[in-house]
Amino acid sequence: MNALLMAAALALAPADQPTKADAPGPDLNGGWLIVYAEEKGRRIQKWEQLKATIKDGALTYDRDGKDFTINLKFGPHQTLKATAGKDESPAEGVYIAGQDYLSLSLSGGAFGKDSKPGSSSADFILILRRQRDK
């Protein structure tokens, strides 16, 4: 009898409630500092200590004197798709978002061109630290 009651309750539950998998990505809007960067298997120290901004899924930082934007689309289970520059083919990877740190690991798309196989675990790695108002 209890199983029948439980099944009836679940059947009558509202179907339009979002699940955790349907939820948008984490709230990352604000200022960030790049603490580690790697592209195509090489560490890029000149990007480290640069300020970056995330607003509505767009990560922007200065890259060789010009604003460079990576459009981020967060998926379930910490998956990530990203497009950058004029290349619309998405890179895919994962992210880890904590209170103060964000790590991105992407392969393919604009980041996968000219990569050396086996030189790193991804074509593009970025670790950022949140900048808080003091």
What CATH number is given to the structural domain containing 110? 2.40.128.10
Residue 16 lies in a domain: no
Mean pLDDT on 72-98: 90
The answer to whether residue 14 is domain-embedded is no
**Beta carbons within 10 angstroms of residue 85's beta carbon:** 13
Q: What is the pLDDT of residue 18?
A: 43
**Phi, psi dihedral angles at 73 (to 5 degrees):** -125, 110
Single pTM value for the model: 0.76
| Residue 82: pLDDT over 60 | yes
Please check whether residue 70 lies inside any domain of the structure.
yes
Q: What is the mean pLDDT of the chain?
A: 81
34: in domain: yes
Residue 3 covered by a domain: no
User: Containing domain of residue 123, as a range?
Assistant: 26-130
In this prediction, residue 131 carries a pLDDT of 95
| Residue whose tokens read 């580690």 | 36
Amino acid at 77: H
CB 75 within 8 A of CB 64: no
Number of domains in the chain: 1
Tell me, yes or no, whether 30 lies in a domain. yes
